[in-house]
Amino acid sequence: MSNAISLRGLEKTYANGHQALRGIDLDIKHGEIFALLGPNGAGKSTLIGAVCGLVKATGGSIHIDGHELPRQYREARAKVGLVPQEMVNEGFESVLSSVRFSRGLFGKPPAPKLLEQILRDLSLWNKRDDATMTLSGGMRRRVMIAKALAHEPQVLFLDEPTAGVDVELRRDMWAMVRRLRDRGVTIVLTTHYLEEAEEMADRVGVISDGRLLLVENKTDLMARLGRRQLRLQLQQPLTQLPADLAGFPVELVDQGRELVLDVARDNQGIADFLRRLAANDIDFKDLHTSESSLEDIFVELLRKPA
């Protein structure tokens, strides 16, 4: 079976000479949620634009569900829905007619029932006759999602879906993305909120300066690069680490007031370590464990020279 999206050597150099994409190879499988992470200006939106027809690639190839762009643009484009990053003001159009327009534009026959369902899912149904310009920012964002879903795309691109969006809408959006995934829709989202990728994505790609630094399963990535630490605040500061603890990956910080232990993800060693502390009469007043987030991993990755 062909991939939902397949990119080979994708390049984009803008007219002003800026090289936004420097040879991207990427396969996105059917039915997965793929998060494209990267700082501002890394090339995320250019990549989405190239796949969705907003940007003319200057090199490489794009296949959507096996259809090559731009040669088989009809078959390819019909499968893709896009929610762009920039909010668009549709002006006086009502919500319903705007969504109806989107469906027609993609060459699909009218489907009032389906559109009603989409609007209900996005809590827009009772706003259907309102002009989009009278809606709040969050509501307009929902309209843009409804428009992207109106033609029943197999692949949905969400470019920074939750930038500047309130908590409620963000939760709704995550729930919606999961429902879509359950229906078999492939989802590609870009974000610089790592929390979002961590919460939702099956796989993560990190892009920086037009290059993909890595593509990996989120859980593998967290396991490989994630760290857990046990931190103990001591009753009495220590001047140096007791020799008895030397075998542990432990550090004395904060002028001897805190012990920091690196823990394997399976928590091996914590019990051992605590027994050894007790044996050495080291008392602690508080302890907590912390786990590195995708964010820490990400910052770490970008700091390393690519």
Phi and psi of 181, rounded to 5°?
-60, -40
Measured on CA atoms in the order 51, 56, 60, 65, is the torsion positive or negative?
A: positive
Pseudo-torsion of CA 287, 291, 293, 299, nearest 10°? 80
Is there binding between residue 105 and another protein (CB under 8 A)? yes
# residues contacting another protein (CB under 8 A): 36
Among 8, 22, 29, 108, binds another protein (CB under 8 A): 108
Among 1, 17, 40, 91, binds another protein (CB under 8 A): 91
Q: Which stretch binds another protein (CB under 8 A): 69-77, 177-185, 201-209, 281-289?
A: 69-77
Is there binding between residue 61 and another protein (CB under 8 A)? no
Q: The tokens 């397949």 sit on which residue?
A: 6
Dist CA 266 CA 274 (whole Å): 16
Is there binding between residue 147 and another protein (CB under 8 A)? yes
Dist CA 292 CA 306 (whole Å): 21
Is there binding between residue 82 and another protein (CB under 8 A)? yes
For the record, the structure tokens of 81 come out as 């829905």
The full length of the chain comes to: 306
Is there binding between residue 80 and another protein (CB under 8 A)? yes
The H or E element that residue 20 is part of is strand 19-28
Name 15's Cβ contacts closer than 8 Å, sequence gap at least 6. Answer: none
Is there binding between residue 52 and another protein (CB under 8 A)? yes
Is there binding between residue 71 and another protein (CB under 8 A)? no
Is there binding between residue 103 and another protein (CB under 8 A)? yes
Is there binding between residue 93 and another protein (CB under 8 A)? yes
Dist CA 101 CA 89 (whole Å): 14
Q: Which stretch binds another protein (CB under 8 A): 102-110, 199-207, 256-264, 287-295?
A: 102-110
Nearer to another protein, 115 or 194 (CB): 115
Nearer to another protein, 147 or 203 (CB): 147
Q: Least distance (Å) from another protein to the CB of residue 177? A: 19
- For 254-287, letters b (16+ CB in 10 Å) and e give eeeebbebebeeeeebeeebbebbeeeebeeeee
Q: Which stretch binds another protein (CB under 8 A): 76-84, 113-121, 211-219, 278-286?
A: 76-84
Among 41, 56, 275, 285, binds another protein (CB under 8 A): 56
Is there binding between residue 104 and another protein (CB under 8 A)? yes
Among 3, 8, 55, 128, binds another protein (CB under 8 A): 55
Q: Which stretch binds another protein (CB under 8 A): 3-11, 97-105, 171-179, 261-269?
A: 97-105
Burial label for 108, CB within 10 Å (0-12, 13-18, 19+), is: middle
Q: Least distance (Å) from another protein to the CB of residue 58? A: 11
Nearest to 226 by CA among 295, 283, 137, 174: 295
**Interface ranges with another protein (CB under 8 A):** 14, 49, 52-56, 73-78, 80, 82, 84, 86-93, 97, 100-109, 147
